[in-house]
Structure 1
């Protein structure tokens, strides 16, 4: 069985249950969050409600993706469904930037038009933020453990999303408590909108991190230098088994790695001997590169560029 088959169905089902749990928790907390924002008139609660709406949408897309992956793509997606994971990760980052814009604009409006928050609604907001910090911290840690056991762009974006939500809710909680405690001072009206910029900072950092880590895989960027050196070292170990190396092409699809190696062999050798060498090189590489699928193509011409993924020619072996 190829290493590229990825995680088993049990792993996919675990991810599916985890993301569905995240979606349900988000939605259950979002409805009273809206009520608290309306009752209190707090701009930071309003911004938090808008941010949560976008995050619910991102989590919903993630759930649809992992559900589709659980059904499999045999016969329709020969290279698996890793691109769906990466696209979802990019979408999550994009949603974070949309939330960033909403929070930023709302904060500027309240700075220009300061107003005192309604204490009763703020108290409800405090209770909701305590729940939000607790639940989002749990989801952050749970998704992080899943990502550690079976790394993927989708789970990476999910644990980062809930880490952002946990810190964001904590910032809102501190803001509300300070605003209530210092309500006797006129300048306390600015605590609420200024705290929104902290949320904007979390969204900016996390959104940028998620998108920049996902785009290279979506654009079929070649493997990083560390994995290229693994390929070089393994080819060097079999240096006497082939006549020339005409190139290596590689790319990622989600957690899976696809490698094509173009080797020239002595024309006097039997095909059975050549195939035996190919099998040994392939097994060695797949053992050293987790979740990899290696294809070795016998050829006497250089690999063409710009076809399936990027390519590199190891300088030590040219």
Structure 2
């Protein structure tokens, strides 16, 4: 690895670590918000952020390991693909759980309570996640990498989910007793569930395919050099 490549790798690793550290507080904060509110969307947001933190930690650890060791292209691709599938499985399982939660509360749950902590968290999350989305997009354009591409896709979906949660909680804060608000709250949980399912499936597919293609390209280049 050249000095330039090493510097770029360290920059990416620092970005991944920063994402983990900034996301570590989110499950605790949203957990508190769930306790003081009665919002289905807030509960879905808590589960979503917890699962996403796990995905971020896995991605950072794998990137760190690959950056610090000498691995064959096939081994690197296998690590990347395994990570993608592990993250995807967690997201899909969480998505199914959220769909079940939304369905069970659709007919008898009335949103209310103090949703302002959740609104603040959603606003901050939208700003931070949009920044990381754009950051990972730039890093991937500079030097394509399946893990970085997966993070870009994840943060794009995180930003969209934060926007959806923000809209649902704003409706609860403005008109908690309106019938439309109740359904918007439940649909907010459904929207988060769809996001989890879609990002899990497409993220695994994209990262896995990118990793395999990258390995094949590197193997071909090494063969040509010989």
Structure 1: gaps spanning 5 or more residues? 224-251, 260-291, 298-318
Of 56, 68, 78, the match for 2:72:
78
**Are 1:210 and 2:203 an aligned pair?**
yes
Q: Distance in 2 between matches of 1:162 and 1:214?
A: 14
Q: How far did 1:172 drift?
A: 0.4
Aligned position for 1:99: 94
Show the 5 A alignment for 1:250-269.
252-253=214-215, 257-259=218-220
Alpha-carbon contact 1:27-1:56 (below 8 Å) kept: yes
* Number of corresponding residues: 224
TM-score in terms of structure 2 length: 0.89
Aligned position for 1:131: 124
**Are 1:294 and 2:195 an aligned pair?**
no
Q: Distance in 1 between matches of 2:186 and 2:38?
A: 11
Aligned position for 1:46: 43
Of 21, 30, 50, the match for 2:27:
30
- Structure with the largest fraction of helix: 2
Show the 5 A alignment for 1:114-129.
114-118=109-113, 120=114, 122-129=115-122
Aligned position for 1:172: 165
Show the 5 A alignment for 1:136-155.
136-155=129-148
Aligned position for 1:111: 106
Aligned position for 2:65: 68
Alpha-carbon contact 1:12-1:69 (below 8 Å) kept: no
Cα RMSD between the aligned structures?
2.3
1:51/1:296 CA distance change after superposition, 3 Å: same
Tell me whether 50-59 or 85-94 shows the greater mean CA deviation.
85-94
Q: How far did 1:155 drift?
A: 0.6
Q: Distance in 1 between matches of 2:41 and 2:61?
A: 30
- Structure with the largest fraction of strand: 1
TM-score in terms of structure 1 length: 0.65
**Are 1:21 and 2:11 an aligned pair?**
no
Q: How far did 1:15 drift?
A: 1.4
Q: How far did 1:187 drift?
A: 4.6
Q: Distance in 2 between matches of 1:145 and 1:216?
A: 20
